[in-house]
A and B are shown apart, each in its own frame.
Chain A
């Protein structure tokens, strides 16, 4: 992992520190500096079983107000942080993407709304891992 190219650092505000954290709790803390509480106002859509851990479609929508960012974490990946989205005013707090998952584990969506952190968790069973190695 030491092979991280130098110019990644010039990419301003790229949260290297948060990304290096192994566990999702540490990564959440490094990224936001606080802890999250579960919320039923976040809808995390993920498959029950992913046959191919290399492409796992994940989407999250929320009815929370004043959402400023949404992040995805995969608990047992080599690095938990998968993606972090900035949601400026006027953009609907709903994103979808495709993740890689090393093995069966929890996917955690964190929503930052009105300065507070909320989370939703779902376990995805992975048949074939997608991180190689």
Chain B
């Protein structure tokens, strides 16, 4: 199963802007490449990513073959309350990967 690296500050002050960085392991095969025998390698990419903060969706991405292998994403949100960030990646061939991280807001 694919593994994900999540970087969320463990604690923050209320109202602070926090950076969330995520990295998933995935080949992101474009579907444009051919094998030595000339066969097209089928597309295998992550097509969408969502991040929820205590159940509320704060970020959503639709991804396409032009995203590099092992998709890295960084975005920012405002720390409002202690709780949990939940991340979900969905891709071709039934790929699903989830991860979560918690934050303490003071």
CB 8 Å contact bits of B44-79 with A (1 = contact, 0 = none): 000110000000111111111111110111111110
Interface set of B (CB-CB < 8 Å, partner A): 17, 28, 30-34, 40, 42-43, 47-48, 56-69, 71-78, 80, 90, 92-94
Q: Which residue of B lies closest to A1 (CB)?
A: B31
Within the complex, what minimum Cβ distance (angstroms) separates B76 from chain A?
4
Is A49's beta carbon under 8 Å from chain B? no
Q: How far is the CA of A77 from the CA of B66 in the complex (A)?
A: 8
Q: Which residue of A lies closest to B90 (CB)?
A: A11
Interface set, chain A 104-128, CB cutoff 8 A to B: none
Q: Are A86 and B60 in contact (CB under 8 A)?
A: yes
Q: How far is the CA of A94 from the CA of B59 in the complex (A)?
A: 11
29 pairs, A vs B, C-beta closer than 8 Å? A1-B31, A1-B32, A1-B43, A4-B43, A7-B94, A11-B48, A14-B62, A81-B66, A82-B64, A83-B62, A83-B63, A83-B66, A85-B59, A85-B62, A86-B59, A87-B59, A88-B59, A88-B60, A91-B76, A94-B75, A94-B76, A96-B72, A97-B68, A98-B71, A98-B72, A99-B68, A100-B68, A131-B65, A132-B32
Q: Are A3 and B31 in contact (CB under 8 A)?
A: yes
| 8 Å CB contact of B30 from A7, A15, A100 | A100
Q: How far is the CA of A97 from the CA of B46 in the complex (A)?
A: 14
| 8 Å CB contact of A85 from B28, B60, B93, B94 | B60
Q: Are B77 and A92 in contact (CB under 8 A)?
A: yes
Q: How far is the CA of A95 from the CA of B49 in the complex (A)?
A: 13
Q: Are B48 and A132 in contact (CB under 8 A)?
A: no
**Quick one: given A91-B59, A92-B17, are A19 and B67 in contact (CB under 8 Å)?**
no
**Quick one: given A11-B48, A98-B72, are A90 and B42 in contact (CB under 8 Å)?**
no
